[in-house]
Chain A
């Protein structure tokens, strides 16, 4: 085994708690298990602190009204309970940690009502979950898993979410990060937001419409462009324009269909 492969095992042991506890890892006796465990727990708290700080920054800005700081969950027993099964960067662990934050903040009884708080938490949770998963670190590994052939079958990328919200969140988000005395308000208006992640791990958000909703729902990697246009009830030109935007966002990619 190469040293690089060995390093990967150490990285995995630090990131993946079930692997760290497995006989497969333990019998290698590469590192002191107690010190490795301490460092792994330290990394886990650091890893999710960074993500909560980034993705729940709007809830953090509202903490002086809600009394609930999102990152407080990292010091609570429920987070400790997650640690033996946590896999840093996995979608499952991101979902579990984000859920803890949502439950913590949603249970607040703010002095001033924040009608869009539920929408906001759904949005922040979707961002954090979308960001999780393996990523491409170098361009020359981008095509792994994709065979040769024509790239004409669109598929919605795993983790892409279309949120249907009751409030127009994009109008209030920047205001939340500015100085305010009363919490900024958001217009009550049905709003579709698409949350997607690029292969490099960059999460992006865009307003969605009916065409976007249809494509995200129907692009299954099997329907060709013509079939997708028919199923979605879209003109091919409209579909192509929609797909262009979705591809740039990372919400859709093209596969060989094989």
Chain B
């Protein structure tokens, strides 16, 4: 396995600290830099930047405007790969939008849609495309395939990379009452290019654990070490926290602890 890059998300409110930080190899960019961000030039100069914006949902083809935006951001960041998510969060007519993660139905029809639209996007990019798994909090009875099977078929059909979000896998295992390692083993880990890791916290609405901009627990870090050992093509691990409430202490300590377990 090549040397892993260890990084975090660019949180603009921590721009001053990130611009002078050491021990961080890369920053993932969830939003374009604000024109008034004084730290952006330094950040761009210092770091490998990973494009991790919302480009569009691949249940539909991206239009020319979205593709041009993706290309422009990829060029601005000089990103080694471009990331999108397996999600379908707004209705086709644009009336309803959840503005948060929701996986597609794991069906043949959605598989065909995602394969076709990912291939079309890939053909327009100058960098490889990687796709991130999204957790489900509830099952929809219309799904026909298990998530890992659906993902495996997607990656085999497209040749795209896998951005493995470990807390997402961990949460699904948690809610299914499974050991995370057992659930993880079903995923197509040979396609993983990048891993995300973060903390989970109790949420009052969900009445259970969910992803949070918090430090990963010891258990989550052990899970990360286990996962990395089973991802032979992995190139990067990113502390997945992007929130105005994130403190620099949490970000830097998390990156340090991630590095320590790998």
- A7 contacts which chain B residues (CB < 8 A)? 59, 88, 104-105, 110
A53–B244 CB distance below 8 A: yes
B88–A11 CB distance below 8 A: yes
**Minimal Cβ-Cβ distance residue in B for A177:** B36
Q: How far is the CA of A105 from the CA of B217 in the complex (A)?
A: 37
A134–B94 CB distance below 8 A: yes
Total residues of chain B contacting the partner, CB 8 A = 43
Question: A151 within 8 Å of B by Cβ?
Answer: no
Question: B107 within 8 Å of A by Cβ?
Answer: yes
Q: How far is the CA of A99 from the CA of B186 in the complex (A)?
A: 48
A138–B100 CB distance below 8 A: no
| Given A3-B110, A7-B59, A7-B105: A88 in contact with B205 (beta carbons within 8 A) | no
Which residues 120-142 in B have Cβ within 8 Å of A in the complex?
137-142
Which residues 153-207 in B have Cβ within 8 Å of A in the complex?
203, 205-207
- A12 contacts which chain B residues (CB < 8 A)? 91, 95-96
Majority-rule SS of B interface residues: loop
A3–B139 CB distance below 8 A: no
Stretch from A30-38, A62-70, A112-120, A232-240 forming part of the interface with B: A30-38
A6–B98 CB distance below 8 A: no
Cβ of A210 to closest chain B Cβ, rounded Å:
31
Majority-rule SS of A interface residues: helix
Question: B37 within 8 Å of A by Cβ?
Answer: no
Which residues 33-75 in A have Cβ within 8 Å of B in the complex?
35-36, 38-39, 41-43, 45-47, 50, 53
Cβ of A5 to closest chain B Cβ, rounded Å:
8
Cβ of A55 to closest chain B Cβ, rounded Å:
14
Q: How far is the CA of A144 from the CA of B94 in the complex (A)?
A: 11
- A98 contacts which chain B residues (CB < 8 A)? none
Question: A140 within 8 Å of B by Cβ?
Answer: yes
Question: A121 within 8 Å of B by Cβ?
Answer: no
Question: B97 within 8 Å of A by Cβ?
Answer: yes
- A35 contacts which chain B residues (CB < 8 A)? 137-138
Question: A175 within 8 Å of B by Cβ?
Answer: no
Contact of A4 among B62, B65, B100, B110 (CB under 8 A): B110
Question: A137 within 8 Å of B by Cβ?
Answer: yes
| Given A41-B205, A135-B94: A46 in contact with B100 (beta carbons within 8 A) | yes
- A141 contacts which chain B residues (CB < 8 A)? 93-94
Which residues 79-107 in B have Cβ within 8 Å of A in the complex?
88-100, 102, 104-105, 107
| Given A6-B105, A7-B104: A32 in contact with B205 (beta carbons within 8 A) | no
Q: How does the 8 Å CB contact mask read for B48-88 relative to A, with 1 for contact and 0 for none?
A: 00000000110111111110000000000000000000001
Contact of A15 among B61, B97, B205 (CB under 8 A): B97
| Given A11-B88, A11-B102, A39-B206: A137 in contact with B56 (beta carbons within 8 A) | yes
- B137 contacts which chain A residues (CB < 8 A)? 35, 38-39, 42
- Chain A CB within 10 Å, residue with most, of B59, B100, B107, B203: B100
User: Residues on A close to B: CB < 8 A?
Assistant: 2-4, 6-8, 10-12, 14-16, 29-32, 35-36, 38-39, 41-43, 45-47, 50, 53, 88-89, 134-141, 144
Could you list some 20 contacts between A and B, CB below 8 A?
A3-B105, A3-B109, A3-B110, A4-B109, A7-B88, A7-B104, A7-B105, A11-B98, A15-B96, A35-B138, A43-B98, A47-B99, A88-B99, A89-B97, A134-B95, A135-B94, A135-B97, A137-B60, A137-B90, A138-B63
The 8 closest A-B pairs by CB, nearest first: A42-B205, A35-B138, A3-B109, A15-B96, A139-B63, A41-B205, A8-B91, A39-B137
Given A11-B90, A11-B91, 10 extra CB contacts under 8 A: A4-B113, A7-B88, A11-B96, A29-B141, A30-B140, A31-B140, A41-B205, A137-B94, A138-B63, A141-B94
User: Residues on B close to A: CB < 8 A?
Assistant: 56-57, 59-66, 88-100, 102, 104-105, 107, 109-110, 113, 137-142, 203, 205-208, 210, 244
